[in-house]
Structure 1
Amino acid sequence: MDSPREIPTYQIFINKNEYQTLRDHMWSEESVSAKLKVNQKQYAVGIAYRGYHIRKLKKKSFRLTIQSPKLFMGAREYHLNAEYSDPSMIRSKLSFDFFKDIGNLAPSAEHILLKLNGSIAGVYLQLESVDDLFLTSRGLQAGHIFYASNDDANFSLITPENTIKQSLEAGYSLKIGFKEDYKYIRELIYKINTVARSDFKNEISKLIDVNKFLIWLVGVVCTQNYDGFIQNYALYRSGASGLFEIIPWDYDATWGRDIYGQTMEHDYVPIQGYNTLISRLMDVPEFRLMYKSLLETILEIKFNANYLEPHILSLQSRIRPYILLDPYKSKDISSFDMESEFIIQFINNRRAYLKDHLVALN
């Protein structure tokens, strides 16, 4: 077997005052100035904390905005995710690779070793930002991108707390586009919730790419991202077709673990997932059978231990030497070593559960 490839080392330098500002304003979205050094090249960057619950933990995630030169490896923004609650440190990477493998858009993700002001900060996952450059690099038409920024992005008129939403665009933030482009989200949410059952198939097909949405649904159901149905995604509306596609985001709480790193039983998420849009799509026999066919195929070819185990073990072996250097993870290397077996057992159990419940999609 070939020896694992080295992962890149990123060095970030923040002066004392800027670093103190960053730590004193933990919940701020404003960046402080820093320097990024990779492979002897230096970049001026802005750095800020990112995420929600991760900001409360010892090992925090960061957002990097590239300032000068304007791009770093073809992008102007990256996310450095701590993956702190994931004992394996590979769940997000494994998820995004899986989504791409089954034909869904997903951000690129690569592990790095981060040094902060000369000290090792640990192993991080460098995650590509979903923006206009994300589209360009994939040869996609320019369009609009909306982030599902909280759990109000459940495709409903009602919040998860059962209160009426203050606006149709509640739960979404505009990443690419202009303020007036929120009209596309408003139209989408309005029609999902008001179009008559007899007209829904035709009307929703004018707004979303149904086949691609169903491929995404297979991905989120297989990986069992409980939050992935109401947040943890981005919506891309093609300027050419006018149709929405959905892109996964934040996938560390997957493959049998929740956001706290605790066990999530393999049957926790139902076979059809959950949210208002999914419910309406599953109410259309043709769409439901399309979903069943896609799920059957992916369960047979892609979502099984024989197919996924080599990639899991490869990811684990590549980052293991660096986990030993991670001040937040090195003392629990035994948990890291055992987690691949946990993930593989989850795949076996989840796959069996989904195969047993395919009949519910008839």
Structure 2
Amino acid sequence: MSSNRDIPSYEIHINEDVYKRFKKDVWSEDPVDAVLVVGDNKYEIQLLYRGAHIRKVTKKSYQFIFPKVTSGIKELHLNAEYIDKSLIRNKLSLDFFESISVLSPKSNHVLLTINGEFQGIYLQLESVDRYLLKNRNLPKGPIFYAENDNANFSLMSPIRKGIKKRFESGYSLKEGTKEDTAALGNFVYKINTISQKEFETEIHHYLDVDKYLRWLAGVVCTQNFDGFIHNYALYRRSDTGLFEILPWDYDATFGRDIHGKEMEYDYIPVQGYNTLTARLLDVSSFKNQYYHILKKILENQFTPEYLEKEIQQMYRQIEPYVIKDPHLKETIKQFYNEPEFILKYITNRNKYLRAHLSDLL
């Protein structure tokens, strides 16, 4: 249901009375029945609002659930990207993670119409679920969403200000069993209790360290401040038993925070944050491994030269539709200014990180 060259058009049809009630209660978690039309194809779906604070804005974000798996898809997320006036930060970030060998959901822009009323341009996000794994020929395994700040890889809760009652708190189980949830709790426990002497050897029984360090480099480059304790998913491969980490919800990146305000390029240190990161970087071999991963990324993928091509391509694709979006008329000037802003951020962030690579030695 995606296209690399053209932007697909999604038409939603809902019973008018149902739609009126749906629009009145944006905080409802109950799905409504609808029909999705894409070209000559029709699909029965269930439609929900998605997000938290973004439900307050005029342009809503949605989730599609397919009662029958369609083209290898069970769920889709349509993000309004209303706070990010460039409309590309999320996709730019997820594509960037993919370029540095981090498992990442696919995304593409689409046009949305509901009951004949054009809603504007949206970013379609692949759901992190069993079908993502299947579509990439990856082994089955449990998947957890990091929902809140308790997903900080610590035994201490920043919410309760004390020891967690359950070490797996902060996560919701997307795929898996109670036994898998217990394994996650054990993983968090081990992160915090393995002795410093044994950590370098023992952590390899629980975590794909190389993939975690690549993810860490991606978060540090893009400066997703929330990304260290949520805005991610965990996947435990059934063939190795090791946890891998995936990025999610990366619109507050490339120099903007969750409110769309400027975030200084030196806001997040080269070491990043969270308990697991701190323990890994306390080991000389892991710190050296991270140093070389980040150095190579700063020389290749996280450069103005590499990312400018991506930015320009995305802008050429979406610009004709952004100017027609009924929700973006007042911010169109900022839309045109954002590429320069993003590229300036990349330039400054790259220089800052290069200057602080020595902190890892």
Give the TM-score normalised by the residue count of structure 2: 0.96
Are residue 66 (structure 1) and residue 66 (structure 2) matched?
A: yes
Q: CA deviation at 1:346?
A: 0.3
Q: 2:118 aligns with which of 117, 120, 144?
A: 120
Question: What is the aligned length?
Answer: 357
2:39 pairs with 1:39 = yes
Give the corresponding residue for 2:190.
191
What is the Cα deviation at residue 310 of structure 1? Answer: 0.9
Cα distance in 1 for residues equivalent to 2:225 and 2:34 = 35
> More displaced, 54-63 or 239-248?
54-63
Trace 1:75-86 onto structure 2 (pairs within 5 A).
Answer: 75-86=73-84
Distance 1:337 1:50 in 2: 27
User: Is 1:145 matched with 2:135?
Assistant: no
Contact 1:152 1:171 in 2 (8 A): yes
1:226-260 Cα deviation digits (max 9, x unpaired): 00000000000000100000000000000000111
Which string of whole-angstrom CA distances, capped at 9 and with x for unpartnered residues, describes residues 250-300 of structure 1?
000000001111101101111111000000000000000000000000100
Deviations 1:97-152 (A, max 9, x none): 10111111000000001111111111100000011110011111111101101121
Q: Which residue of 1 aligns with 2:267?
A: 268
Q: CA RMSD in A?
A: 1.2
Distance 2:199 2:57 in 1: 44
Deviation at 1:341, TM superposition (A): 0.4
Q: What's 1:297 paired with?
A: 296
Q: Which amino acid aligns with 1:235?
A: L
Rounded to whole Å, the distance in 2 between the matches of 1:49 and 1:273 is 32
SS of aligned partner of 2:268? coil
Identity of aligned residues (%): 51
Question: How far has the Cα of 1:28 moved from its partner?
Answer: 3.0
Q: Secondary structure at the match of 1:71?
A: strand
Distance 2:194 2:297 in 1: 31
SS of corresponding position for 2:292:
helix
Which structure 2 segments of 5+ residues have no match?
none
| Greater CA drift, 18-27 or 322-331 | 18-27
**What amino acid is the match of 1:12?**
I
Shift of 1:56: 1.5
Secondary structure at 2:298 match in 1? helix
Give the Cα–Cα distance (whole angstroms) in 2 for the partners of residues 318 and 308 of structure 1: 16
Aligned runs of 1:1-362 on 2, under 5 Å?
5-67=5-67, 70-161=68-159, 162-362=161-361
Q: TM-score, normalised by structure 1?
A: 0.96
Shift of 1:181: 1.6
